[in-house]
A and B are shown apart, each in its own frame.
Chain A
Amino acid sequence: MRVIGNIEMYVGKIEQITESVKRFYLYPSDQKLLPAFTGGAHITTYVDLGDNILEREYSLVSHPTDRTHYAISINRDPHSRGGSAYWHDHIKVGDKVISSFPKNHFTLGFHAKHHVFYAAGIGITPFLTMMEELEAQGKTFELHYAARTKEACAYHDYLHEKYPGKCTFYFSRSDEPQRMTPETMKNQRIGSHVYFCGPVAMVSEYKEAALSYGYPEKSIHFELFAAASGENNPFLVEVINHNKVIEVNPEQTLLEALLDAGIEAPYSCKAGGCGQCEVDVVEGEVDHRDIFFSDEEREQKKMILTCCSRAKEEKLVLKL
């Protein structure tokens, strides 16, 4: 059984799911069994581009206990940071890809009596394995899934057949356009947990709505595609227990600057959603760009998520 490091894989098969979504099947080069995982898990993939490494996180869409291979589904996003375009245009069957172990920062609420999923576009991916788990455990759930058209709706037929009566689809560009709205959260039974996956704007909208309907924070779960952006100011960061002062320039994140300086800063999703890169702030105002901390936490605690948040002014003092 594997316990440490990354896993060398090769692309065994590529399937076109919709016009812009491809499913990649990854097999371990050493033919040994892969780690099983839990619903909502993802992997970090590393593709060697020669002069640099393309590092991206993708939800697993293969069955959690199928240990012969992993599958990921990638939407070719015209606004992507280059990752999805490269996967779509250059990755071929037989290519080598390095994968991390499966990690899960988007787990099912243990005490939930009912699970309600909201997916926008390719945000469907983590829900595929989560629903698989719930179905096996005999738990109740429902899915709300928005796409532009039925044709652009990845896994539409599969979901429709596998979970009859549990999925509601919303197609914004059909003859009778339908919009998915947060309103459906209002009538959920006590003990429900809600899950959002999609672009930042969608997740923020649904999170705000859930709170306004009186949902407790712990019943709200979400995963983001990418961190919110803003003006990237340069600033200085002093790390007191390492006796270092580091410049963070506009092209890099605080996390990148720390790592470049040889400081072993923790991190995982790099999108301000998982909280793994939290660091104590000793001095300085933080420009919070994550959606991980609640407003209350931002006021009470002096913390920063280094992957996306920055200094409000010219300097921050941190302790790692």
Chain B
Amino acid sequence: MKKKAIGHAGWLWTGLASIVAFIYFFPVLFIILTAFRSRMDTLATPPKWIFTPTFENFYHIFFRAMANSTEYVSTGFHVYFFNSIYISGMSVLLALLIGTLAAYGFSRHPLRGNDTYLFIILTTRMLPPIIVIVPIFLIFRITGLAGTYTGIILMYTAFNLPFSIWMMKSFFDELNTEIEDASRMDGASERSVFFGICIPQVKAGLAATSVFALILTWNEFLFSLLLTNKLTRTMPPAMARTIGGEINVDYGLLAAMICLFIIPIFLITYLLQNQLLRGVTFGTIKK
């Protein structure tokens, strides 16, 4: 191992970095605070920094007060929440299954024109979704897939597939093939080489890939906007619709919704710090 030029700096540097991180993070902090303010506190000018925290905004995401009564009705957000989990979960699972096989194929049994295939696959991920969405919209309308779980899951599977392939290929490429060859010499079948030797070595890679794919799907807006209906809609378009009206926008409510998004993502960012670079570049840059 070569010595790397990562110098050591003391607490002074920590202080400087904390200030910068605080300024950079301030927008998110403000949102989190807004989510815990009561409606009156949200509208105060100048902003109130000290207030009694309340969970009413979080409650209002799921239940809305009727216009002139104290009754509460469901806003239907629990459905969107469930849809987001179900749709991204299913599509990531499918994409990971198909993608890992393909990645193994590309890595261990290269075809003629392997790089061309990989280039085309990456291009399908890089291409603007707006181009594919026009014909997909027409096809879905004809086949009756529009607004169904099957349709949107199929769409997201294809959306996650290029990412899974590139990501998993980068993990497979890193493995030492000598172990595989040795066990083949000992008479192990291809299947047991794949399941018994390769997969256990890329467990961390599988976890990272699935988490990144989950975030990408969870955050996706355009496909869900155009291909789902009231029953299958996911969180992002549901959130965007909440601000559609411009007047009387309940900012505390919106902030609470964003909070629901932010908190899990923090945990994930922290846990995946070592794989982050690979994840955000679709596995094209390893270090």
Q: Do A and B bind each other?
A: no
Q: Which A residues contact B (CB, under 8 angstroms)?
A: none
Q: Which B residues contact A (CB, under 8 angstroms)?
A: none
